[in-house]
Structure 1
Amino acid sequence: MKLLSDKIVAVVLACAVVILVVFAVVQTNWTNKFIRLSEAQREASLRTRVSIARSALAPILQRYAAGIIGKSEACAQASALLSQMTYDDGESRNYFFLNAMDGTVLVRPYRPLDVGKKLLDEPNSIGQYPMRLVLQSVREHPEGSFVRYVFPRPPSQEEEEKLSYVIYVPELDAALGTGTYVEDATVQQLALLRRSYLLAFLLASLLAVPFGLFLLVVRKRNAALVEEMSKRRTAIEAMEQSRTRFQTIFETVNDAILILDPGTLRIKEANASAQRMFGYSGEEMARLAGGELLAASPDDGEEGAVPLERTREHGPQTYESRCRGRDGGSFWVEISTRMARLDGEDAILAAVRDVSERRKAEEALRESEAKFRSLFENMAEGVALHEFLYDADARALDYRILEVNAAFETQTGLVRENVVGQLASDCYGGEVPPFIDEYAYVASTGNPLVFDAFFPPLDRHFHVSVISPKKGFFATVFTDVTQEKISEQHLKESLHEKEVLLKEVHHRVKNNLQIISSLLKLQMLSSGPEAQPPLRESANRIATMALVHEHIYQSPSLSSIQLRSYVAKLASHLLRSFAGDKRIESVVDIPEMIISVDKAVPLGLVLNEVITNSVQHGFAGRNDGRIAILGELKNDVLDVRISDDGVGLPEGFSLEGATSLGLQLVVNLARQLDAALEVASDQGTVFSLSVPL
């Protein structure tokens, strides 16, 4: 019996050991499952909240993608929206954050001073760089990932471990996320849970055999209960997420949202935008009827209720109406209504958008169009709008007349009704439309073009300006200049006649001067030796002036001559006249330039006197010599230098004391030219003249 008892005890102990081992394994598994379930629930909660925030940003991102707003405005609206979206995570109020990918903080509600700063290089107390960790996680997993780091908890600012979930928002090039703090209390609770399980294990070990079957039954019932609770929790979370998403959108959209009772049309709820738009508080809104609020005046309440009743009976409605605010001011709105099921009850959902600015813009556009139409119709110039027609190879074939103004009819003689909508080739005749190459260039490149042309179909001259408002289209602004062209041609003919006459006058003056020069030379042949030099000098002076007139009638211009050729001919003429048997070389280096007759005559006379003086007096006792005439143009001043390699000037010579007629002429002509005159004698004679032009 004892053996039996010992055997029974051994069996019981063995069973207890087996139960202990099995319980330890099960207990460890359950603990790990509990920890994983807690973490999974926490991560699922973070994912859900970030998804809600991303959904709330969708309208802003859509307006940005459509080009309605710019990126800076989209960032500003997103920041304003996220700053208002705080939530209760069970321990404290929590928030969403938004960071640009360059490390700039865009949204951080509990640390507003950080907004706008780049915090890539800001470490925490354990040497981590939270901003870098967040951005690195987004770059590696743009669809969403978790990241752990130590971060100050508001409002105490004590650093604690934080688990965040972040996603990439490509439209804003930013990281959107939220997080929760992993408190020590959670770890302590888990430790307490393990100790309680251990104590329960010890107790269960003592009662394993009698309560084994009971525990199995309880476990099965608990499993069923946990499954049922899990289903209910999932359903509740789904409803809460839907409600949160709706509430977030309801409170953050820019449009006014009204929820109305379909029976009484009373306002049950109004979002913040509606309160701002109409100037009423939420409590005041609840005392108003929808038709009364959505009418231009209190007397129009019944009229304002008609579309709401139509929504109830016929479905969604969209219309524009004038509404009034609390201050009595009226404004235009666009109202979209539809039936909805909210919290198990039917309701009319009305979205109200202020379109006052749009209607003002439309009115301004209509006024602008009217002004431009009036300008278009009353312009003195003819205006025509055209559209090009192209073949399969994008070659311009013809162009169609789209619109013309009244001046078009006046200047072309064509009737608007007969040309608008017609092809140019049909209106003007001919296989090739007029000026198609010029017009095609403007329509394809957008570069404007201005030209004068004779228009054979109308037998008229036009001044035409061509512009292209967009590719494939062009507009012509033209003026009939036929009379101007005729007058211009008459003027050209008259001017040509006068030019011929003036050239003939210069030719006759030159001939008369040459006759006078020849008479002086004949007089010189019959005069004595003392009279010949003065007569020769006078003849050369006259020849110098005659040479100017010769260049004038040979020149395209009647008021100026080519200086270089004039000086070269003048020097050659003087050397032939005075050099005789002497071999005197002349070097002329004058710039190619045009000089007026007023400057050419006195300058030619100065050159005549100086060259004559060099030939007659500079080479006494010599049969050869060199005269150089050099010129340089600097800053509208012509510097002329006449030099020879002769005997030079007598000692003590000065221009002021010169008594000869030639040198006195040089001084007076220099004054006439307003020129600076200098004389030097260094291995010959040098006359320098600076003539302002």
Structure 2
Amino acid sequence: MKKVALLLSKRSVLLLLVYIIVATSWIFITDQLVQPVADNSDTAYLLISLKDWIFVVVSGLVLVYFASQKREAQQDLASTERKYQKLFQHSSDGIMLTNPNGAILKVNPAGCRILGRKEEEINELGREGITKNNEKMQEALRRREETGHFSGELTFIHKTGKPIPVELTSSVFHTEGEGLQTSVIFRDITDRKEHERLLQEQIRMRAAIMEVGAKALEAGKLTSFYEMLTQEMTTLLDARRTQLFRFTEDSGVQLLANSPPLEKSPAYGHEFADLQTINTPQIIQPDQLQPLTQRTSDSSVSYGVIIPGDSGPLGFAAAQYADNYELNTNDELFLKAVAHIISITTARKQAEQQLQQSLDEKKTLLSEIHHRIKNNLAVISGLLEVQALETEDEQVRFTLHDSQQRIQTIATIHEKLYQSSTLAEVGTKQFIEDLISSIHDTQNPGTQQDISYEMDIEDISLDMDQAIPLGLIVNELVSNTYKHAFEEQKQGHVTIRLETKDNTIRLQVTDNGKGLPENFTLQQSNSLGMNLIQTLTHQLEGKLEYQNTENGCEFTVTAPLPH
């Protein structure tokens, strides 16, 4: 505004100088015109009078022009001042005029409202009294001093002492006669900062919910899960204490977990009917969060949310705060999410426990079945042994011993099955080694044959459908070495190999006996043992091969490896 007045005054001076020059020139020129007729008094008088009148008229016009220009300048200046004053007074942003040294010259109403003070108070306090003097403020002053401008976020102090985050723009300018001044335009961004904080808190809460959900999937025992959950709740909700309760069948409540640990919960041990008398019916509404006043010695309030279940409420989760605390939206969201996580995890764990209990019962039953089958087969084997002792027919005795050994093989498999952890699979290594030992002890009792064994057995897990046929094949092949390969020998050696390769299982039994008869074929063999080997190989969907070697014979069975 002062710049406008300054420009107007300069223009007036310039016009005045022009007027003086014109007026001086006019007087000089008219004096030169009047000079030749100076002797003629009438003419000279007329010219002088005309000259004076013209000068007076022109001077008057100039004065009128100057007066109108001044009035217009004053009107423009007043209009501009009104506009700036209106903008200053009615701006929703705070505006201050200050000196670079921190003295405050003027503050608009919006600035006073933001700071909660009158203009006189703000002027008296100065910059130091209304700002938080920290590194951020010092950096802002340094940048404004270097560049003449600053834009950014700073912190002002409300009259109540509450910090006010503001978005601020400040510039340095020069005024005629008053030197350097600064303009400060600022806006209260408390709401925006609160929204940003709530957004970040919401993101943090959602991440926490996902983390708690992930931990729920990995949870072991429910007691450990409840303890972990209350610890997480106390930390994330910044509560004095968090607690989990369940409703009992006798309409009571039981404390499941609390953090920090408490020897006795204020609500623990009370009947639920008693709790209803101290403002608890509200929490029984599903998905609603209501305050629950507990019996505490200190002044506090707990916010509880129901834990839903398929057949009714399971219990409730509660967070304890100071009496004047109000739960925010994010805390409420977390508590509700925790309640549903507890509901889902509890139901899942209970289903797992029921399933495990059922599996344990079936495992016990299956183990008992295998044990009884083994015992029943042992009884049958014993009966065959008694029958063999009573008969005098050597061929019958051998036949009974063969049947006894086959039954003993099946019994050994059932013994291994009920001893295994799964009750469904048996390891081939220990099973075949025990089977060979049993064959050695039972074949040709009373003979002086010295038969040695070499075993290279890969430990393969087989179920009963594969283990019994394979075990019977081993029994027949090894028993045949006693009856045929070493029939005329006192010493012998048998090699048993079992391995897997390319999804197939390969059994090979080799001896150094007398070998197979010349022109031997399985089709022509009327031996029960050989027919049994062929049948069992077919049952395994396998292939049987045999050949004589340099020192005996070799049988090989290959079959697909069970999936």
**TM-score of the superposed pair, with normalisation by structure 1:** 0.39
| Structure ranking higher on relative contact order (CA contacts 8 Å, 6+ apart) | 2
